Amino acid sequence: MESSFATLIMIFTGLTTYMGLKDHDYFQKYCFWVDGILVFKERARVMTSGFLHGGWWHYAFNMIALLSFSTSLEIFMGIPKLALVYFASLLGGSLLSLAIHRNHGDYRSIGASGAVSGVVFASIILFPEGKIGLIFLPFEFPNWIFAIAYILFSIFGIKHSMGNIGHAAHLGGALTGILCTMALMPDLAFQNQWILWLTLVPILGFLALVFRNPAVLLIEDYWGEGAYQLKQLTKKKPKSKLKVVHSQNIDQILDKINEKGIESLTQKEREVLENYKGEN
């Protein structure tokens, strides 16, 4: 039995995706665009962008994931709550993406990934012991492993701007899906508190780090002042080649003095010795 809600979303999103791929003006009018939202006040873009896709593979991947995870949620939650999770996660993903990219006026994105991430994580919170199988892998693995891998991949994707993927929307959608599940079905959600901690701690920790220290997103391999200072303390400083050469010269000069006396030194050797005395 397929989820009726997911089927309706799939049909409607397929029609709007077709319109966007066919008509460039339609696509530009409804896509997620930072300046369009913040400067021109076209706030509807935070939602309409979730019904457009960059191609049919992008659309198919999102809709297959939605159909796969929606059936059990529709049975346990009912259509109204499932719809709330979906649309709230779409909004949450867009808002986090807007916050992360607020200074990138030309940033654009499309896709239902934020909303789908919310549905996926709602399912993981309610059924943490379940198993997930991906199309391109011949085996299944526990939900909680997928959850932590997905979160870490999204965090590193945001940090390093990996690929043409809306990692911030994925993370924002996942967080919103978790919070919605906790609010809508607290009895079931809090039965497995370990999965809540496992998912919420890395997401909230990363967001706290980013909003407290925005430079984390601007400087490569930088994870905040604490991490930077620790790295500097543990970092081995290479010995200066100049000092090594200088030390070798002094040893040779001292050996020469011992063997032939100080009068045997050349003018250059005397200067090197005087400079060494001055430094020490």
How confident is the model at residue 221, as a pLDDT?
65
Give yes or no for residue 4 having a pLDDT over 80: yes
> For a pLDDT cut of 90, what percent of the chain falls above it?
51
pLDDT band at 142 (very low <50, low <70, confident <90, very high): confident
| 238-279 confidence digits (pLDDT tens) | 544 444 445 556 667 666 766 676 667 677 777 776 675 555
pLDDT band at 26 (very low <50, low <70, confident <90, very high): very high
How confident is the model at residue 10, as a pLDDT?
96
Q: Which residues pair with 32 in a beta bridge?
A: 109
Please state the rounded mean pLDDT for residues 90-112.
Answer: 92
How confident is the model at residue 242, as a pLDDT?
44
Q: How many CB atoms lie within 10 A of CB 227?
A: 14
In 145-197, which ranges are E strands? Answer: none
Please, are residues 125 and 181 in contact by the beta-carbon 8 Å criterion? yes
**What is the Cα–Cα distance from 268 to 19, expressed in whole angstroms?**
82
Label the pairing between strands 131-133 and 140-142. Answer: antiparallel
How confident is the model at residue 244, as a pLDDT?
44
How confident is the model at residue 240, as a pLDDT?
47
How confident is the model at residue 250, as a pLDDT?
65
For 134, the 3-state DSSP assignment is coil
Please, are residues 37 and 45 in contact by the beta-carbon 8 Å criterion? yes
H or E, element range at 132: strand 131-133
Q: What is the mean pLDDT of the chain?
A: 84
**What is the Cα–Cα distance from 63 to 68, expressed in whole angstroms?**
8
Residue among 253, 275, 51, 73 nearest 180 (CA)? 73
Q: What is the pTM of this model?
A: 0.77
How confident is the model at residue 63, as a pLDDT?
93
| 185-243 confidence digits (pLDDT tens) | 999 889 989 999 999 999 999 999 888 887 777 666 666 666 656 566 666 655 444 44
Give yes or no for residue 180 having a pLDDT over 50: yes
**What is the Cα–Cα distance from 90 to 173, expressed in whole angstroms?**
6
Determine whether 89 is exposed, middle or buried from the number of CB atoms within 10 Å of its CB (0-12, 13-18, 19+).
buried
Give yes or no for residue 137 having a pLDDT over 90: no
